[in-house]
Amino acid sequence: MADLTSEFIGIKSPNPFWLASAPPTDKEYNVRRAFEAGWGGVVWKTLGSEGPPVVNVNGPRYGAIWGADRRLLGLNNIELITDRPLETNLREIKSVKRDYPDRAVIISLMVPCDEESWREILYRIEDTGADGVELNFGCPHGMAERGMGSAVGQVPEYIEMVTSWVKQYSKMPCIVKLTPNITDVRKPAEAALRGGADAVSLINTINSITSVDLDDFAPEPTIDGKGTHGGYCGPAVKPIALNMVAEIARSPETANLPISGIGGVTTWRDAAEFMALGAGNVQVCTAAMTYGFKVVQEMISGLSDYMDRKGMTSTSELVGRAVPNVTDWQYLNLNYVTKAKIDQDACISCGRCFAACEDTSHQAIEMSEDRVFTVKDDECVACNLCVNVCPIENCITMEQVAAGQLDERTGEKVPEEYGNWTQHPNNPSNFEAAE
Amino acid sequence: MTSNALTPGIVSGRLPAEDLVENFSDLHPPLDDHEALVAADRCYFCHDAPCMTACPTDIDIPLFIRQIATGTPDAAAKTILEQNILGGMCARVCPTETLCEQVCVRETAEGKPVEIGNLQRYATDTLMASGVHPFTRAAATGKKVAVVGAGPAGLSCAHRLASKGHDVTIYDARAKSGGLNEFGIAAYKSVDNFAEKEVDWLLQIGGITVEHGKGLGAGLSLEKLKADYDAVFLGIGLAGVNALNVDGEDKDGVLDAVDFIAELRQADDLSQVAIGRDVVVIGGGMTAVDAAVQAKLLGALNVSLVYRRGKDRMNASAFEQELAATKGVRIITNASPKAVIGNGAVQEIEFEYTDDDLQATGQTVRLAADQVFKAIGQQLGGDDLPAVERGKITVSGAGRTSMAGVWAGGDCASGGDDLTVTAVAEGRDAAEDIHAALSA
Ligand SMILES: Cc1cc2nc3c(=O)[nH]c(=O)nc-3n(C[C@H](O)[C@H](O)[C@H](O)COP(=O)(O)OP(=O)(O)OC[C@H]3O[C@@H](n4cnc5c(N)ncnc54)[C@H](O)[C@@H]3O)c2cc1C
Ligand SMILES: Cc1cc2nc3c(=O)[nH]c(=O)nc-3n(C[C@H](O)[C@H](O)[C@H](O)COP(=O)(O)O)c2cc1C
Ligand code: SF4
Ligand code: SF4
Ligand code: SF4
């Protein structure tokens, strides 16, 4: 079994699976049970300033979308930061960390955007024994209306300013948690780096309305007839999060900035994907909220089996492995030709590939009288839609047409050499250059 | 209780009332909302779906299942009922394992088809429970059509004609409508008087008058009907039964399975229905299985189903055979009845073993029997019918008979399997053809 020990910005944990700052980490009771279940670390539920705690709504906090079999795909929430007294949280953090010295305990913070507030909170958490802080510049609802959370995370100058205060008043490693509710995630990441952040974590939740009550005509979750946008998370947001992680990892400005990957991690595979795209570790919220703390055990066994299969002895060998292969569209090889191929033994003749290709793609699938489906190589553009809609895994595959072979669609031989858009004759800039 | 399983002869009350209730409860209990959603989620919404092709009434199965999945079971019911007005009964009695579910791609994929029948029942039950009849009649045409037989074929035909604006009179020889839905289908497939409720619901469309106790040869003649109406539809099923033609067939205790089933279906109190201790059912079809299983469920000690050919030739589907076996029916194949033995009433019945070509082997066996049910097929009854070939009214196209102005469908007509759903399809299609003829 591969060694999953992870070291992230100097913080050690027995595995790279941390619970993200959220309800699973809101109190000692939860965190102790999480550690017993095997989680490598936690980012404690975000703390606010000293004084009367925030209050949450007393109606529903969550909305959701589901897939087949009511599998939870996306969750949205309008919960605020911790609504328990600061003192209670600090006492509990200290007690947990004392009993679990090998686990990572990070404190998430969100206080008003002034130097004094940050200095004060950093002072208050100093003797908890926590391993680091995470600055919550991400939550998109409620706190943002009060000038905190994503209201800070959307302004790179504020990120830089607050981060530099934190580095000035604390010796703890500092992670800046980014909001995805921006246009270019590299900008806030660069600001965090300028401010002295040791790492960024992303993504926090995405502005969303999950559904509308069609009897009351109000967004869900509905509180006394009204609703507000919430923060979206869970499996549905993973693709968005993966892209944002990759953007930071491959940008020259932030290439060396450690990343804690968050957003829809549900299985070991999701975690491995984040790590391959440059995340040093991952944080999980919705999967734990859906299935309980035990899910981490599958993540641990799955990642370690995978690493064994790949001959990796440390998670650092996985981190960033896919980053060099993330590129811009213009550098994709236009001379790489594939065709869909249907495995007739696996095919159950549902006809979904046919409906998809015939109605919405390239009319490249033929259906016979007796429901045999075959791809017409002279029409197939290799869009992959049939693969995506086929209910049987690996029934349709994309087969490469080797260099030198005929591409029946174009009537031309597949070129030997790599050729991308920048080199393509149809590219207007080449056209001009030629003239 | 005066009798039990061991009491000799044909007696009632072999089982306590609560056992009877349990035995005759729904064979497939209805899906609840949650089960229906889970089942509906499994459908792949196939293109040109094979299940739909396999359905004799061409119900748009992927569409109705998707309507269930999206929380609109009433819309799903309408999709079903537009094609098959007895979609509720068909959901209960169709041998789905040899129709839609057999070809479901998830049967191919996992050996476990989408539960199409149960989902159909869920949708139609939901709609019918709300008391809604979702169809209305077109403007009156002033045309009159006589439908003979209030079974699935006749009802389906009448409903479609009424919806087109024609006035329909249904004549049925029996005192109740429904045909074999009411008198033939196994009790555990149609509980809570569903057949009658469904007929009442169907008639809500309006424009249909039902006259009971009037049949061809019993106060009606086809000539007269032809004269009095613009068109006639015959859906008279197969009212006669085949005989065994063996010695002793007339002894007491030897009955037609269909009569036994009809008695059972009409009984208000199952503990009053008499059943033998040692029951032998002769036949290999759905009727034989239903008689045998229900005899067992009434508390008969030994029930044997004896068929003259091999198991693979039995008309009863594998599912039905398995049902019989699990209920404790002993299935004996390759044995042909030779003689009914007994002094006044049957005591034993002798069979001779046959090979697969029905050749006698000379070896015989006797089974103790105080009751014998004959289930070796029904036959067309009645004179002055349109041309008949191989025991069925010859039809071409959508139920056209040899007589102008007379259509036929269901069990009495040639072509198609003898199934409720086929009868519904044929009645509906004949109605469309009649409508076209009357509109021309
Ligand atoms: C015991 C048994 C079990 C069955 N189980 C199933 C099953 O589980 N699933 C399935 O799909 N199919 C089953 N079937 C077959 C199915 O019941 C028939 O295929 C279907 O009922 C045929 O419909 P129909 O309208 O043609 O005839 P019927 O249902 O037989 O209706 C004919 C109607 O015409 C009336 N009638 C007859 N003669 C005259 C006359 N001369 N004048 C006026 N009226 C007349 C009768 O009273 C009756 O109401 C079963 C059949 C039997 C016998
Ligand atoms: C109910 C709920 C409350 C949350 N509260 C916080 C919070 O207080 N601080 C924070 O930084 N993130 C908070 N988050 C965001 C999560 O930490 C995490 O970034 C997000 O859910 C994406 O990860 P996931 O897809 O694994 O759930 C919350 C998420 C949920 C569902
Ligand atoms: S890859 Fe696209 S074009 Fe080719 S067969 Fe599949 S759906 Fe059609
Ligand atoms: S979608 Fe897949 S299983 Fe269905 S017909 Fe196409 S190849 Fe076969
Ligand atoms: S064959 Fe099965 S999966 Fe396909 S549409 Fe019919 S019920 Fe659905």
DSSP letter (8 states) at residue A377: T
How does residue A433 score in pLDDT terms, banded at 50, 70 and 90? low
Statement: B144-239+380-439 belongs to CATH 3.20.20.100: no
Q: Residue A31: inside a domain, yes or no? A: yes
In terms of domains, do A143 and A274 share one?
A: yes
Whether residues B49 and A351 touch (CB distance < 8 A) is answered with yes
Residue A435 has pLDDT above 70, yes or no: no
Share of chain A above pLDDT 70, in %: 99
Q: For position A363, which CATH number holds?
A: 3.30.70.20
Ligand 4 mean position, distance from CA A397 (Å): 11
Whether residues A391 and B109 touch (CB distance < 8 A) is answered with yes
How does residue B77 score in pLDDT terms, banded at 50, 70 and 90? very high
Domain range for A220 is 6-325
Closest residue in A to B39 (Cα–Cα): A69
Q: Residue A435: inside a domain, yes or no? A: no
Render pLDDT for A84-101 as a digit per residue (tens, 0 to 9).
Answer: 999 999 999 999 999 999
Ligand nearest to the CA of B180: 1
In testing the pocket of ligand 2, which one of A62, A134, A137, A233 has its CB within 8 Å of the most ligand atoms?
A233
How does residue B352 score in pLDDT terms, banded at 50, 70 and 90? very high
- What is the average pLDDT across B79-83? 98
In terms of domains, do A243 and A103 share one?
A: yes
Q: What are phi and psi of A30, to 5 degrees?
A: -65, -50
Distance CA B101, CA B114 (A): 7
- Spot the catalytic one: A113, A139, A285, A390: A139
In terms of domains, do A297 and A356 share one?
A: no
Q: Residue A434: inside a domain, yes or no? A: no
Nearest to B41 among A69, A351, A391 (CB): A69
Domain count, chain A: 2
Burial class (CB in 10 A: 0-12, 13-18, 19+), A376: middle
Q: Residue A1: inside a domain, yes or no? A: no
Whether residues B44 and A371 touch (CB distance < 8 A) is answered with no
Residue A434 has pLDDT above 60, yes or no: no
In terms of domains, do A213 and A361 share one?
A: no
Lowest-confidence region among A131-145, A201-215, B215-229, B418-432: A131-145
Burial A259-298 (b: 16+ CB within 10 A, else e): bbbbbbbbebebbbbbbbbbbbbbbbbbbbbbeebebbee
Nearest to B47 among A68, A352, A391 (CB): A352
pLDDT at B1: 52
In terms of domains, do A369 and A298 share one?
A: no
- What is the average pLDDT across B45-68? 97
Q: Residue A432: inside a domain, yes or no? A: no
- Residue whose CA lies nearest to ligand 5 atom number 4: B46
Q: Residue A203: inside a domain, yes or no? A: yes
List for chain A the helix, strand, coil content (%; round to 5).
35, 20, 45
The secondary element (H helix, E strand) that includes residue A407 is strand A406-407
Q: Residue A382: inside a domain, yes or no? A: yes
Whether residues B46 and A350 touch (CB distance < 8 A) is answered with yes
In terms of domains, do A262 and A371 share one?
A: no
Share of chain A above pLDDT 90, in %: 94
Render pLDDT for B167-187 as a digit per residue (tens, 0 to 9).
Answer: 999 999 999 999 999 999 999
Query: Taking a contact as any Cβ pair under 8 Å apart, which residues of chain B between 86 and 105 contact chain A?
Result: 105
Lowest-confidence region among A130-144, A393-407, B20-34, B393-407: A130-144
Lowest-confidence region among A139-143, A254-258, A387-391, B264-268: A139-143
Q: Residue A101: inside a domain, yes or no? A: yes
| Known catalytic membership, residue A139 | yes
Render pLDDT for B125-144 as a digit per residue (tens, 0 to 9).
Answer: 999 999 899 999 999 999 99
pLDDT at B46: 97
pLDDT at B217: 85
Q: For position A25, which CATH number holds?
A: 3.20.20.70
- Residue whose CA lies nearest to ligand 1 atom number 4: B185
Residue B2 has pLDDT above 80, yes or no: no
Distance CA A64, CA A72 (A): 7
Statement: B241-377 belongs to CATH 3.50.50.60: yes
User: Hey, is the C-beta of A372 within 8 angstroms of any chain B C-beta?
Assistant: no
Ligand 3 mean position, distance from CA A273 (Å): 27
Q: Which of A100, A106, A104, A125 is closest to A50 using CA atoms?
A: A125
In terms of domains, do A288 and A377 share one?
A: no
In terms of domains, do A263 and A398 share one?
A: no
Ligand 2 mean position, distance from CA A21 (Å): 6
In terms of domains, do A318 and A380 share one?
A: no
How does residue A143 score in pLDDT terms, banded at 50, 70 and 90? confident
Structural tokens at position B436: 């076209």
- Residue whose CA lies nearest to ligand 1 atom number 1: B287
How does residue A432 score in pLDDT terms, banded at 50, 70 and 90? low
Q: Which residues of A touch B61 (CB under 8 A)?
A: none
C-alpha dist (Å) from residue B318 to B96, B98, B120, B351: 11, 9, 22, 24
Higher-confidence residue of A149 and B247: namely: B247
pLDDT at A383: 97
Which amino acid type is present at position A70?
A: R
Residues of chain B with CATH 3.50.50.60: 144-239+380-439, 241-377
Scanning B172-236, the segments in alpha helix (DSSP H) are: 180-183, 194-203, 222-228
Contact B46 CB / ligand 5 (< 6 Å): yes
Q: Is there a contact between B46 and B62 (Cβ–Cβ < 8 Å)?
A: yes
Q: Which residues of B touch A355 (CB under 8 A)?
A: 47
In terms of domains, do A258 and A119 share one?
A: yes
pLDDT at B171: 97
ipTM surpassing 0.85, yes or no? no
B260, B263, B268, B269 alpha-carbon torsion, rounded to 10°: -30
Render pLDDT for A160-205 as a digit per residue (tens, 0 to 9).
Answer: 999 999 999 999 999 999 999 999 999 999 999 999 999 999 999 9
Q: Which residues of A touch B63 (CB under 8 A)?
A: none
How does residue B218 score in pLDDT terms, banded at 50, 70 and 90? confident
In terms of domains, do A239 and A125 share one?
A: yes
Contact A373 CB / ligand 4 (< 6 Å): yes
The rounded mean pLDDT for chain B is 95
- What is the average pLDDT across A125-144? 91
Instruction: From A325, A346, A372, give the residue that closes a domain.
Output: A325
Tell me which CATH homologous superfamily contains domain B33-129: Alpha-helical ferredoxin (1.10.1060.10)
* Chain B interface disruption, residue of A71, A350, A353, most B CBs within 10 A: A350
How does residue B384 score in pLDDT terms, banded at 50, 70 and 90? confident
